[in-house]
Structures are given as C-alpha cells and as structure tokens.
Structure 1
Amino acid sequence: MEEIKEPVQLSLGNGKLNPAAAGFSRTPLHAFENLPQGVRHGWRTKRWEYWGVLTPDLVLGMTIAHLDYTATLQLYVFERATGKEISSDPLSIPPGSTAVLPGTLPPLTALGTMGGLHLRFHDDDGGTHLRAESERVGVELYAPAAGDVLGVVVPWSDTRYQYTLKDVAREVSGTVTVDGRQYPVGEGAFAVLDRGRGRWPYSRRWNWAAGYGTSAGTRLGLQLGGMWTEGTPATENALIVNGVLHHFDAELEFSYDLTDPQAPWHVRGDWLEATLTPFHRRLAATNVVAVASKTWQAFGEWSGWAAAPDGTRYDLGGVQGWIEEARNRW
C-alpha cells in the first residue's frame, strides 16, 4: 500500500472515494467533510469513535456512533475481580444531534448523550480526555498521544469504502468509578482508539485484535485485522515498536472456537505467530429495526512472537489486549 504523507479528503465532492486517499498513514491525515449522508445516498455512511481501555482491575469500552439512520452510544465495564458486567447501549431513531462526530482533522471533540448516558472524547495538544457518565459509572481518563498510529483506507469500490484509524499504544491514567467504588487507573493500563468513517455494504464481518505492553524493555503495540479487507489492496496489520509503526500488506490467518469462551485465539502470518489466552469473553448482540450485530470479544494476554521488517523478533509475553469477531448488518 502507498503511504499517505499529506492531509487529504476521504471523499470527492460527488461522494465517491478520493483515489488520493487510498493508502495508509502514520498520523491522522484524512478528513471527512465530503462524506455523503442520508436517504438520498442510501443510508450507507457509518461514523464512530471507540475507546477501549484495559487495566489490572477493569475492562472498559466506550462508543459514540452515527449510522446515518440511527445513532447509538455504548458503555461497557467488566470488573475483573468480581466478574460483574455493566452494559448500556441506548439507540436513537432518528439520530438528530445525539451523536456529534466531526469531519475535520484532529484535534477533535466527539460527544453523545442519550438514555441517561453521556460520553465525551476531547483532544488537546498532548492527548485525549475520555469522559463518561451514567447512573452507575463515571469515567475521567487522559490518554497522552505517543508515537505512530495506523490509518488505513479500505476501498471495496468507488462508492463503498472505509477509513479506519487504530491507535493501539497509548498509556492512560485517571479514575473510573463503578457503583460508588473508585478505581485508580495508571500503571499497567492502556487505551486504544478505533476511529471509523466510511460508506459500508449492508452486511460485513471482521476480525480485530489489539495489544500493548513492554517486553524485554521494548514497548510493543499490536494491531491486527482480517476478513473485511480481503479482496482489497488494503490491510490493517501493524507492529509498533517503541512508537514506530511497521505496516504489513499480507492478510493474516485467524483461528478460534466461538463455542468455547475459554479457548485461545490464534493469529498467524509471515511476520507473526500470536495467541491470545482469554481471562474473559464478552458476547454483545443487537437486533433493532435495520441494525443487527453480534460480537464475540475476548480479553486476555498475548504470547508468541512478532517480527519487524528487519527480521528482529519480539516476544509478545507481557502484551495485554483483546481479539474479536464481529458480524454486522447495518
């Protein structure tokens, strides 16, 4: 894939994919001001900001999404010591102004309010403030920006295309309050941003995996994807070593058993032999009006190895993260 090095609009004025936008980048360089929306364009535009946070105490997921004909927020918390799960996913039809997702280059402020849940992700010059408030959960976190990210445009056609930005190697600090109990967040915690903007087919499946940790004094970030990029020139596969991105073009092989929540998940390729052993697996499902989704997401510890293009192998022991299969009709 070609590396994008200058700011570019994802879409042309007529709503089709801008050919100059196809490729990958190490910083957020794509803007979305020409992305078409609404019934005249078939309700195919999907926009979201997802932040996942893993700490020694908690798993946290927060999403602000606008799916053209609807908007939704999601807040998920898992207490690792108790096994308690809290999940809130209000949905608004029509979307109105319940989810605000800017189309400009960062710094961005994304926010959403509905169903007693309020989410706000606000960039400053040095990182991102993550805030959530619901009846049972309060989140006040800060994730400093640190090193390269992976931005990729996946071109299914000139009318169906997706920009994804995965920032998988951010440390994070602050507090999360769950049912009145305050958890400090700091050492051993990391945050991942998944930003999506594009024009989707109605039905699509994908694998996604992320990880972050320190192995033998080296900071490693792991970003892996599959299924949804097959048949295109794009992949979202990368290894980040001490903040430096290494992007890989070849597809990876994912293997796992969805019938067994405790079974390991495996990912293999020319530069990677990785296994995630779960401490928890979540099954999230939605079936409302035209939106139907099912996601199996496993959280755990990575093992195995990943190699940089120069042949240096890195042990993945000590890297924490997650892996998922998602099936969407939207």
Structure 2
Amino acid sequence: MATHEHEITEPVDLCLADGSLNPAAVGWSRTPLHRANLRGWGRTKRWEYWCVTTPTHLVAVTVSDLDFLALSTVYFLEYGPGGREFECTSIVPGARGVHLPDTVAGAPGSEDVVAGPARPSSGKVRVEIRDENAGTRLRARCLTPSRLPLEADLLVSRPAGHESLSVVVPWSGRRFQYTSKHTALPAAGRVRIGDEVLAFGGDDSWAVLDHGRGRWPRTVDWNWGAASGRTDGHTVGLQFGGRWTAGTGSTENGLCVDGRLSKIGEELDWRWSASDPLAPWSIRTPSSGQVDLTFTPFHNRSTRTDAGLIANRTDQCFGHYDGRIRTDDGTEIAVDRLLGWAEDVHMRW
C-alpha cells in the first residue's frame, strides 16, 4: 500500500528565507531530515514530548516553547484502582532561558535541552534531554503535590535502522507544522519518588517521542494515538493522527513493524464518545482496510484550562489497542492489548 505522499530522502530546510514554508519540505521521511529554521514570533510553537511506559506505570516529560511562554511538565501515572497520578508544570513567561533546537533534541548532531533549575522547588520543573552514545538520556525532577521529590533518569535506545515518521502538514504558506513521531523505542532506567524506586527496563518498557516545530493557527482540534510493544511475534509501534491534517494532503499515520515504517496516506476514521472518553474508541482506515483497531481506555488524563491566551481541553486516555493492521508488504498482524493512548484535544493558543 504505497502512499500518494512525497517521500523525502535528503536533508531540507523547513522554511524559505522570508519564513514561509519551503515547498520542497512538504512530504514525509523515515528519519528526521528537516531543519526547522523557523522565523517570526507569536504563532511559532516548538516542543519535545517523551512518554515512557511499562505494564504498570508511565512517565512523560515535556518541554515546549509557545513564543509568549514556555512550559515544562513531568507527568507520572501508576495504573489500576488507587494508582498514583502526579503532574507538575512550570510556566516561564516569555519563554526566557528555554531554547529548543531546529532538529530533534538530544539526537546525534543536534543540541541538548536543559530547562529549569537544577534543584527545583515547589512549582518548578527540571528537564534534561541529552545525546549519549547509546541513545537519548531523559532526566527530570520536580516535587509531587505531597512535596516528595520525584526524579526520573531514563535512557532511550536507538536501534540501528529503526525508522520513524516525520511529516510536514501544510495549512498554508504561513501556517504549517513539522512533526517527527518515534515509536517502539526500548527504554530503561528508574523513577524515584521519595525513597521508593520504580524500575523501567527489560522487554516491556517503551518510549515514544513527539517532536514538533511549526507555525500554528490560533485554534485547532486534533486526535493523536500511539502505542508500542510486542504482539503476534513482532515489535509494533502505532502512530495515528486525525482532524488537524484534514484537507492538507498530508497525514501523520504510520505503522512501525520490526523497525520498518509503513506510511499511511489515508485519513483515519476516528470514532469515540466525547461525553464518555473511557468508552471504547474505534480507529480504522475506511478504504484500504490497513488499520482496524479498537482502543479500550483504563484512565483519562483530563485537562481543562482557560487562561486568556491559552485555552485547552484535553482528554488523553491510556489503554490498550486490539484488532489488526497490515504492513506495506501485505503482512497481517494481530494486535493484542498493545499499550498506548488516544487523545481528543481542542487548543486555543
């Protein structure tokens, strides 16, 4: 199933000299090849979001620069009834002191990212994203709501030849997004909460990266889904998007199976209950049959914010995917309880 979209195979600048979208940058690639040489202020958004999961808990770290402010966030979730959930966000007006590079932070040849004080006090967050020979090192520190220190130290491996999905989504010559999504990356390390240490590693700890650089409209709605793990004898990473790409000629849909990407150019059919996000979701390709999945959530990370410049409604549901997928070479794979998430977001920023 070859996509109609243009595959980029050589490095390219995202923008022309005047800051508008470079037409040669529109397309997708199996490795990050774009340099996000963004210009202009006010509509430029940059972020790095990493989420590392195990069968029992997960941790996510974010550094984002929205021009008029920067946000650094650490989120921890322990699954099951009574499981702990912590979130700490540090806001930096004017994004002072926060710098995100033009390429994937912490990747070989790119810049490292360090945001926040080395010893964060209440309400502050420290995030480090650094390149190491073996992969990308993620470190984060904050205080939980009960004022226990939370420290994460995780190493995300970069298997040789492992492919990702990078794509440019063009709304117009002045509004566009470059996103690079990486799934099914092995991860290992620990998260310490007070005196308790939680281990990440083995065969069932996986990392997902959402790297974003672009110039966005004031208001946007999107779906995003991702999952990683082993199923039906394969290592599988799912990467799905919806709504925000409609009408652009680009999608952020792909399957990473045993390190090889199958790019899906078809818009997905997302079905879920906005009034009950914990009800099962359906995600499928309406024409090709390449994706036919049910997502069953067990937890909703619900966020509602209205702070003038920013208004956000997010339902990020964590759960399991079941069903079937088909790769470009026709291989049918049964998906059985693949751990991940699906989200419904409205953003004004």
> What TM-score, normalized to structure 2?
0.90
Mapped partners of 1:318, 1:78: distance in 2: 18
> In the alignment, does 2:139 pair up with 1:126?
no
SS of the aligned residue for 2:116 comes to: strand
Mapped partners of 2:274, 2:103: distance in 1: 38
Contact 1:57 1:183 in 2 (8 A): no
Partner of 1:240: 256
Mapped partners of 1:242, 1:6: distance in 2: 23
Mapped partners of 1:194, 1:239: distance in 2: 15
Contact 2:28 2:167 in 1 (8 A): yes
SS of the aligned residue for 2:8 comes to: coil
Partner of 2:330: 311
Partner of 1:274: 293
Q: Which amino acid aligns with 1:31?
A: R
Partner of 1:13: 17
Structure 1 residue 111 displacement after superposition: 2.4
Structure 1 residue 169 displacement after superposition: 1.3
1:119-158 matches, within 5 Å, as: 119-135=127-143, 136-146=149-159, 147-158=162-173
Q: Deviations over 1:150-171 (max 9, x none)?
A: 0000000010000000001101
Q: Which amino acid aligns with 1:69?
A: F
Q: Deviations over 1:97-154 (max 9, x none)?
A: 1x22111464331221164210011123432101001123110000101300000000
> In the alignment, does 2:39 pair up with 1:36?
yes
Partner of 2:75: 76
Q: 21-30 or 260-269: which moved more?
A: 260-269
Q: Which amino acid aligns with 1:219?
A: T
1:67-216 matches, within 5 Å, as: 67-81=66-80, 82-97=82-97, 99-104=98-103, 106-107=107-108, 108-113=111-116, 115-135=123-143, 136-146=149-159, 147-187=162-202, 188-216=204-232
Paired residue for 2:243, among 227, 235, 245? 227
Q: Which amino acid aligns with 2:198?
A: Y
Structure 1's consecutive aligned runs of 4 or more residues displaced over 6 angstroms after TM superposition are: none
User: How many residue pairs end up in the alignment?
Assistant: 324
| CA RMSD across the alignment | 1.4
SS of the aligned residue for 1:164 comes to: strand
Q: Which amino acid aligns with 2:46?
A: R
Mapped partners of 2:114, 2:46: distance in 1: 12
SS of the aligned residue for 1:290 comes to: coil
Change (3 A) 1:215 1:324: same
Partner of 1:22: 26
Mapped partners of 1:301, 1:257: distance in 2: 17
Contact 2:48 2:63 in 1 (8 A): yes
Contact 1:64 1:111 in 2 (8 A): no
> What TM-score, normalized to structure 1?
0.95
Q: 132-141 or 155-164: which moved more?
A: 132-141
> In the alignment, does 2:48 pair up with 1:49?
yes
Structure 1 residue 261 displacement after superposition: 4.4
Mapped partners of 1:305, 1:226: distance in 2: 19
Q: Which amino acid aligns with 1:163?
A: Y
Structure 1 residue 242 displacement after superposition: 0.5
Q: Which runs of 5+ in 2 are unaligned?
A: 118-122, 144-148
Mapped partners of 2:246, 2:124: distance in 1: 39
Q: Deviations over 1:165-201 (max 9, x none)?
A: 0001101100011233110001311110000000000
SS of the aligned residue for 1:49 comes to: strand
Contact 1:213 1:318 in 2 (8 A): no
Q: Deviations over 1:17-42 (max 9, x none)?
A: 01111100111111123x0132xxxx
SS of the aligned residue for 2:71 comes to: strand
Q: Which amino acid aligns with 1:145?
A: R
The percentage of aligned residue pairs carrying the same residue is 40
Mapped partners of 1:13, 1:321: distance in 2: 39
Mapped partners of 1:203, 1:72: distance in 2: 18
Contact 1:101 1:111 in 2 (8 A): no
Partner of 1:64: 63
Partner of 2:146: none
Contact 2:232 2:335 in 1 (8 A): no
SS of the aligned residue for 2:336 comes to: coil
Structure 1 residue 288 displacement after superposition: 2.1
Contact 2:277 2:315 in 1 (8 A): no
Partner of 2:120: none
Mapped partners of 1:4, 1:126: distance in 2: 27
Q: Which amino acid aligns with 2:180?
A: L
Contact 2:88 2:124 in 1 (8 A): no
Q: Which amino acid aligns with 1:83?
A: G
Mapped partners of 1:125, 1:236: distance in 2: 29
SS of the aligned residue for 1:20 comes to: helix
